[in-house]
Amino acid sequence: MLSSASSKRTSRTTVIRVRRGAARRERDQLVSEEPLQVRVSAGGESGTVAVTMRTPGHDFELAAGFLFSEGVVSSCLEIARISYCHRVPLEERHNVVTADLKVSTLPPLEGLERQGVVSSACGVCGRRSIRDLEVRGVAPVCSDAEVGEGVLLELPHSLRRAQGLFRRTGGLHAAGLFTLEGELIAVREDVGRHNALDKLLGWALLQGRMPLEDHLLVLSGRVSYELMMKAAVGRVPVVAAVSAPSSLAVALAHRFGITLAGFVRDDGFNLYAHPGRVRLWGSGSISEVEA
């Protein structure tokens, strides 16, 4: 039987653990997954921009990061406040977040609004193309940032050590922000890859750290187009992931000047775009590798 509370990030459950032919009943922890409705208000009007399944916690950062990456706001100065909605039943209060914007009229929401509950693993899959980002005014990342091979190889270990909820549940994705020297600045975890990154970008936005042109972004899983889109909006020059990128993620990295490293493991990594920001041991930086 499962027990949970809306404000908790984990839930207790009973499992039957089987090991080498023996079975025993034990208590275990699961990562919590609950819906979050993100709303915006301005000029006496309000509207829903997203309903997503997420791990409770850092909800205001998730809302801010989503609004930033989707182009609703471009600065924390455009947000008057973010709060939980008090006009809903008590048991739902922490699952509805409203961002009050400092504008006189509500911005257009038709292209953003997602009816129903969106899977935490799906995000806004397929809704945008690279051309749409260009129309929004997102320009290629122009940064002279460089990262050493040794720093890249250590990043997944540093991220994993910072994943407290993952150690307890084994069921979360993570996004971590690092300095170019590999120092961890912030990490956010969530049951959804997109939510984890939105929480991290929301933290950076609310802390006044945008743009992120002298930072590294590390992802705990595969790299989709949506994640690279968010990195481009945040002006991140280097993205490293422990798994594979998609074809559209690689295309976006090429177009927007982002160094993309995948399959970052103990013995190496793959560079998919703009390798010149990576310095190899004793060999200097990589320009382009001939086929």
The torsion angles phi and psi of 39, rounded to 5 degrees, stand at: -120, 155
| C-alpha pair distances (Å), 38 with each of 18, 34, 114 | 41, 13, 10
Write a three-state SS string for 176-221: EEEECCCCEEEEEEECCHHHHHHHHHHHHHHCCCCCCCCEEEEECC
What's the length of the chain?
291
Catalytic residue among 76, 85, 122, 142: 122
Location of structure tokens 């406040």: 81
Amino acid at position 27, single letter: R
State how far the Cα of 245 lies from the Cα of 248, in Å rounded to an integer: 8
Start-end of H helices in 40-192: 59-69, 130-135, 149-161, 164-169
The torsion angles phi and psi of 92, rounded to 5 degrees, stand at: -105, -5
Annotation says 122 is catalytic: yes
> Kindly report the CA angle at 193 between 192 and 199, in degrees rounded to 5?
85
Q: In the numeric block, which tokens belong to residue 5? A: 């509370």
Q: Report the catalytic residues.
A: 122
